[in-house]
Each structure stands twice: as structure tokens, then as C-alpha cells.
Amino acid sequence: MFDRAIRAGQDVRAGDIAGQFHFVMEPERASRTIRFPADGLVLAHSCRGNVQRGELLALVVQDVTG
């Protein structure tokens, strides 16, 4: 299960928390914090809590110059 900590339209910085994975089928397993690898703007995100490997969690965009 993904517990989202962000919203669309939010500016984020590298290292900010995107959310946490909770392993509901493995309750003894510790939750895992997911962080953004780069700065940007959250353009879209998943609204579903139950996600699978490879699914979109957040779409982050950056300004392009030049």
C-alpha cells in the first residue's frame, strides 16, 4: 500500500518524502519511505493506495531552458 504525502501542484525538492510503502501482506516488515530524487513540480499522482511494482506514483516535471 502506498501512503502518499504529496499533492498535485506541489513543489518538491530532492530528498523530500513522496510517501511510504506499507507491506500489508507482511505486517512484520517495516514500512519504507520513498523520497524524490530531484527537484520539480508534482504534475500528477496516483490516488489509489493499493499499487503494484511499475505503477505511477507521482509525475514530477521540471522547467526546461534553452
The residue count for the chain: 66
Residue 33 belongs to domain with CATH number: 2.40.50
- 62 located within any domain: no
CA–CA gap between residue 47 and residue 57 (Å, rounded): 8
- Residue-range definition of the domain harbouring residue 34: 2-57
For 32-61, the pLDDT digits (tens) are 999 999 999 999 998 877 888 888 899 999
- 65 located within any domain: no
For 3-16, the pLDDT digits (tens) are 999 999 999 999 99
- The pLDDT of residue 3 is 93
Model confidence at 65, pLDDT cuts 50, 70, 90, reads: confident
Burial track 6-17 (b if 16+ CB lie within 10 A, e otherwise): beeeeebeeeee
From the list 19, 50, 53, 55, the residue with the least C-alpha distance to 36 is 19
Q: How many domains does the chain have?
A: 1
Between 31 and 47, the higher pLDDT residue: 31
- 20 located within any domain: yes
pTM (predicted TM-score): 0.84
